[in-house]
Amino acid sequence: MDYKKTNAPTNTVNRDLMDLCEDTGNIYETVAIIGKRANQISQEIKSELSKKLSEFASYNDTLEEVFENREQIEISRFYEKMPKPTLIAAQEYVEHKVYFRNPSKEKEKLQQSTSL
């Protein structure tokens, strides 16, 4: 997914907890879902940033050459200004772009339907 074009806010946003836990019925489950998605996003962004910065890696640079690399600085600044993974994950959850399931709840529903 292209996180550069996300409409997630860059600052903290107050959210109504009852609206967030509407789908799951449990705020702790909702937070766990958002947290797991935030970890996935964080790993994707980290690997993307590492790929871009590895292009600039040189093991024989002097200290002056390291500080003069403007492109590397611009890439780093861009990623610093992006919304944090938790904010992106929360926005995706609110927009129903996150797929999640709870196997224990599915098992309970299956048992209830077979007992009827």
How large is the angle between the packed helices 27-54 and 85-94, nearest 10 degrees?
A: 130
pTM attached to this predicted model: 0.76
What pLDDT is attached to residue 62? 60
What pLDDT is attached to residue 47? 92
Tokens representing 18 are: 């009852």
Tell me the C-alpha distance between 78 and 80, whole Å: 5
How large is the angle between the packed helices 70-81 and 27-54, nearest 10 degrees?
A: 170
pLDDT block averages, 10 residues each, the chain of length 116: 74 84 89 94 92 75 62 85 91 90 77 70
What pLDDT is attached to residue 66? 56
What pLDDT is attached to residue 11? 80
